[in-house]
């Protein structure tokens, strides 16, 4: 369904000329009510009409636009939509608040690619299924690169969808199985553990661990190699999240039994995702939302050419959505 956000005034050319010479009254009009405006200006200047900010059905917020009242009335059920909108939003937009959250047009990740609708007619552009930062998976939309203008997101998408070398032989030789077999994990005995030294303390973007963080990572890895569970407890602000991120990154380098699962409070999930993207090249997927969000996530994130599953290195999940996943 098309969505109306806010209305604003449009004026005749005569009124714009008047405001050009009387800037004081123009600003006065923006700040005061319509009753005061009628008091100060002669009636013949008020040939005004409304514009409405409209989100188009099936399209993202990138394609929202201001449209006239007459144009909306021409749509099916346009009069009814206008009437309901004016009841809920009697105020006129004055430009001091955002029409919508800016994260609704920020690219979070690309989920898929396909030839555009005009490909057979000579338009060789591809379009991408874009998940936006402030919206869940069910609100993903197909967009051309010119619309979202994020080359880094395209490069990251292509990198995520490159078939790992250890899958190539099994993928090409196995046409009947639903997914090729993963390589056997190496034999990791407790004696194979070696502490991570300062020479290895270099990560993505030039990030480095503090000495106490490096000690925590070594302790976590030591417990993992010895098949022991562990709890990292420390004061707030000392980088426990980063220590877990680096630990999982080191485990991913020696163990192919992935993905990992992280269950965290809902409010901390963006922080977890951001830390993985800042410190590692792992592919974190936030698995939450309603049933449709999880369906879209599962369909596009869990598979490769309908055969290879679990290219994801880790899931980030919240306590509150844990029960919903089983429904």
Q: Which two tokens stand for residue 269?
A: 């999930």
Find how far residue 311's CA is from the centre of its chain.
19
Give, as one character, the DSSP assignment of residue 50: E
User: How would DSSP label each residue in 181-201?
Assistant: PPPPPP---GGG-----GGG-
Instruction: Please list, in sequence order, all residues whose beta carbon lies within 8 angstroms of the beta carbon of residue 59, skipping any fewer than 6 positions away.
Output: 141
Task: Please determine, for residue 175, whether its predicted confidence score (pLDDT) is greater than 70.
Answer: no
Q: What is the pLDDT of residue 24?
A: 38
- For the segment 6-31, the average pLDDT, to the nearest whole number, is 46
Contact 104, 25 (CB under 8 A): no
Q: What is the DSSP string of 126-139?
A: EEEEEEETTS-GGG
Q: What's the pLDDT at 42?
A: 44
205-235 pLDDT per residue, tens: 899 999 999 999 999 999 999 999 999 888 8
At 64, is the secondary structure helix, strand, or coil? coil
Beta bridge partners of 55: 3
Q: Which residue has the higher pLDDT, 149 or 43?
A: 149
Query: Does position 32 have pLDDT exceeding 50, yes or no?
Result: no
What share of the chain has pLDDT > 90, as a percent?
Answer: 27
Backbone angles phi, psi at 135, to 5 degrees: -125, 155
pLDDT for res 65: 85
Highest-confidence range of 184-188, 286-290, 316-320, by mean pLDDT? 286-290
Task: Kindly tell me if the per-residue pLDDT of 100 is higher than 80.
Answer: yes
Task: Quote the pLDDT of residue 30.
Answer: 36
**Residue partners of 323: CB distance under 8 A and separation at least 6:** none
Average pLDDT, the chain: 76
Per-residue pLDDT tens digits for 250-268: 988 887 667 888 888 888 8
Which parts of 212-259 are beta strand (E)? none
Domain pair 102-160 / 183-325, same fold? no
Mean pLDDT, rounded, for 240-250: 93
Which residue is it, tokens 């997914």?
Answer: 179
Domain limits, the chain: 3-88, 102-160, 183-325
Tell me the pTM: 0.71
The continuous run of DSSP H or E covering 54 comes out as strand 49-55
Mean pLDDT on 274-284: 90
CATH of domain 102-160: 2.40.50.40
Has residue 26 got a pLDDT over 90? no
Give the pLDDT of residue 35: 30
**Domain 183-325, what fold?**
Rossmann fold (3.40.50)
What token pair was written down for 320? Answer: 């509150």
| More confident of the two residues 187 and 47 | 187
């Amino acid at each position: 369904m098309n969505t109306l956000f806010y209305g604003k005034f449009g004026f005749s050319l005569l009124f714009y000329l008047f405001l050009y010479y009387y800037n004081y009254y123009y600003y006065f009009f923006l700040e005061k009510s319509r009753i005061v405006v009628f008091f100060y200006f002669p009636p013949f200047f008020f040939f005004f009409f409304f514009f409405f900010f409209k989100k188009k059905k099936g399209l993202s917020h990138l394609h929202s636009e201001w449209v006239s009242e007459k144009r909306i009335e021409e749509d099916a059920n346009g009069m009814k939509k206008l009437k309901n909108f004016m009841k809920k939003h009697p105020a006129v937009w004055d430009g001091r608040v955002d029409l919508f959250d800016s994260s609704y047009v920020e690219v979070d990740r690309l989920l898929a690619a396909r030839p555009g609708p005009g490909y057979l007619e000579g338009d060789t552009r591809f379009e991408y299924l874009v998940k936006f930062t402030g919206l869940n998976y069910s609100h993903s939309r197909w967009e051309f690169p010119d619309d979202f203008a994020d080359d880094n997101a395209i490069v990251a998408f292509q990198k995520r969808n490159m078939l790992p070398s250890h899958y190539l032989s099994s993928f090409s030789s196995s046409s009947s199985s639903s997914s090729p077999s993963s390589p056997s994990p190496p034999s990791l005995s407790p004696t194979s553990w070696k502490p991570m030294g300062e020479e290895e303390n270099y990560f993505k973007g030039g990030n480095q661990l503090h000495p106490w963080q490096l000690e925590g990572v070594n302790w976590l890895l030591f417990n993992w190699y010895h098949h022991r569970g562990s709890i990292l407890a420390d004061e707030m602000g000392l980088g426990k999240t980063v220590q877990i991120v680096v630990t999982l990154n080191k485990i991913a380098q020696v163990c192919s039994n992935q993905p990992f699962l992280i269950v965290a409070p809902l409010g901390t999930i963006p922080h977890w995702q951001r830390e993985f993207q800042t410190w590692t090249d792992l592919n974190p997927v936030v698995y939450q939302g309603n049933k449709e969000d999880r369906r879209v996530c599962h369909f596009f994130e869990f598979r490769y050419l309908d055969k290879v599953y679990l290219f994801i290195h880790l899931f980030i999940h919240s306590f509150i959505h844990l029960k919903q996943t089983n429904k």
